[in-house]
Amino acid sequence: MSPARRWPGLAACLRRWLGPAGVARRWLGHAVFATSLVVVLFATWFVLDQLRRPPTPLEEKIATADRVLYYRLLDDADVSFQLSGTEDVIKLITHGVIEGNRGFDADQRTP
Protein backbone atom coordinates (compact mmCIF):
# COMPACT_ATOMS: atom_id res chain seq x y z
CA MET A 1 0.00 0.00 0.00
CA SER A 2 1.45 3.39 -0.95
CA PRO A 3 1.99 6.09 1.67
CA ALA A 4 -0.52 8.34 -0.12
CA ARG A 5 -3.26 5.75 0.46
CA ARG A 6 -2.24 5.20 4.09
CA TRP A 7 -2.18 8.90 4.98
CA PRO A 8 -4.30 10.86 2.51
CA GLY A 9 -4.09 14.03 4.60
CA LEU A 10 -0.28 13.93 4.58
CA ALA A 11 -0.19 13.37 0.82
CA ALA A 12 -2.48 16.36 0.24
CA CYS A 13 -0.38 18.53 2.54
CA LEU A 14 2.83 17.55 0.72
CA ARG A 15 1.22 18.23 -2.68
CA ARG A 16 0.23 21.71 -1.51
CA TRP A 17 3.67 22.39 -0.05
CA LEU A 18 5.77 20.97 -2.91
CA GLY A 19 3.49 21.80 -5.81
CA PRO A 20 3.36 19.58 -8.88
CA ALA A 21 5.60 16.53 -8.87
CA GLY A 22 7.86 17.92 -11.60
CA VAL A 23 8.63 21.04 -9.56
CA ALA A 24 9.45 18.98 -6.47
CA ARG A 25 11.76 16.69 -8.42
CA ARG A 26 13.49 19.64 -10.06
CA TRP A 27 13.91 21.39 -6.70
CA LEU A 28 15.30 18.23 -5.12
CA GLY A 29 17.73 17.74 -8.01
CA HIS A 30 19.01 21.30 -7.65
CA ALA A 31 19.43 20.85 -3.89
CA VAL A 32 21.40 17.62 -4.33
CA PHE A 33 23.60 19.22 -7.00
CA ALA A 34 24.29 22.31 -4.88
CA THR A 35 25.11 20.21 -1.80
CA SER A 36 27.45 17.97 -3.81
CA LEU A 37 29.19 21.01 -5.28
CA VAL A 38 29.72 22.55 -1.84
CA VAL A 39 31.16 19.27 -0.49
CA VAL A 40 33.57 18.90 -3.42
CA LEU A 41 34.70 22.52 -3.16
CA PHE A 42 35.28 22.19 0.59
CA ALA A 43 37.26 18.96 0.14
CA THR A 44 39.37 20.59 -2.60
CA TRP A 45 40.05 23.63 -0.41
CA PHE A 46 41.01 21.42 2.54
CA VAL A 47 43.46 19.32 0.50
CA LEU A 48 45.08 22.37 -1.10
CA ASP A 49 45.36 24.06 2.30
CA GLN A 50 47.09 20.98 3.77
CA LEU A 51 49.52 20.84 0.84
CA ARG A 52 50.36 24.53 1.25
CA ARG A 53 51.38 24.20 4.91
CA PRO A 54 54.95 23.21 5.75
CA PRO A 55 55.33 19.75 7.29
CA THR A 56 55.61 19.45 11.04
CA PRO A 57 58.83 18.10 12.55
CA LEU A 58 57.13 14.76 13.22
CA GLU A 59 55.95 14.54 9.59
CA GLU A 60 59.50 15.26 8.41
CA LYS A 61 60.87 12.50 10.66
CA ILE A 62 58.41 9.99 9.29
CA ALA A 63 58.97 11.09 5.68
CA THR A 64 62.76 10.65 5.90
CA ALA A 65 62.61 7.22 7.56
CA ASP A 66 63.44 4.12 5.53
CA ARG A 67 61.09 1.99 7.58
CA VAL A 68 58.60 2.97 10.25
CA LEU A 69 57.57 0.74 13.14
CA TYR A 70 55.22 1.87 15.86
CA TYR A 71 55.29 0.51 19.39
CA ARG A 72 52.92 1.55 22.13
CA LEU A 73 54.55 1.31 25.52
CA LEU A 74 52.47 0.90 28.61
CA ASP A 75 53.62 1.46 32.18
CA ASP A 76 54.36 -2.20 32.85
CA ALA A 77 55.86 -3.18 29.47
CA ASP A 78 59.42 -3.18 28.15
CA VAL A 79 60.64 -3.28 24.58
CA SER A 80 63.71 -5.14 23.41
CA PHE A 81 65.16 -5.39 19.91
CA GLN A 82 67.28 -8.22 18.54
CA LEU A 83 69.78 -7.28 15.85
CA SER A 84 71.42 -9.68 13.42
CA GLY A 85 74.83 -7.97 13.59
CA THR A 86 75.00 -7.04 9.92
CA GLU A 87 73.44 -3.61 10.34
CA ASP A 88 75.72 -0.72 9.41
CA VAL A 89 73.56 2.12 10.68
CA ILE A 90 70.62 2.10 13.04
CA LYS A 91 68.58 5.25 13.39
CA LEU A 92 66.04 5.35 16.20
CA ILE A 93 63.61 8.22 16.28
CA THR A 94 61.33 8.55 19.25
CA HIS A 95 58.22 10.58 19.69
CA GLY A 96 56.69 10.63 23.13
CA VAL A 97 53.01 11.24 23.60
CA ILE A 98 52.09 12.08 27.17
CA GLU A 99 48.46 11.77 28.12
CA GLY A 100 46.89 14.53 30.08
CA ASN A 101 47.10 18.27 29.83
CA ARG A 102 50.65 18.81 31.04
CA GLY A 103 52.75 21.54 29.50
CA PHE A 104 56.33 21.00 28.39
CA ASP A 105 59.04 22.16 30.79
CA ALA A 106 62.59 21.82 29.46
CA ASP A 107 64.10 22.24 32.95
CA GLN A 108 62.08 19.42 34.47
CA ARG A 109 63.91 16.08 34.55
CA THR A 110 62.82 12.71 35.82
CA PRO A 111 65.18 10.82 38.11
- DSSP code at position 86: -
- Asked if the structure places residue 110 within a domain, the reply is no
Structural domain total, the chain: 1
For residue 31, the enclosing domain spans 3-52
45, 51 Cβ separation under 8 angstroms: no
- The C-alpha atoms of residue 1 and residue 44 are separated, in whole angstroms, by 45
Taking CB atoms within 8 Å and a gap of at least 24, the contacts of 72-76 are none
- Asked if the structure places residue 85 within a domain, the reply is no
- Asked if the structure places residue 12 within a domain, the reply is yes
Q: State how far Cα 89 lies from the chain centre.
A: 35
- Asked if the structure places residue 104 within a domain, the reply is no
- Asked if the structure places residue 41 within a domain, the reply is yes
Sequential pLDDT tens for the chain (111 residues) = 565 566 667 667 666 666 666 566 667 778 889 999 999 999 999 999 988 998 888 788 878 877 777 777 776 777 777 778 887 777 776 767 666 666 666 677 665
- Asked if the structure places residue 29 within a domain, the reply is yes
- Asked if the structure places residue 93 within a domain, the reply is no
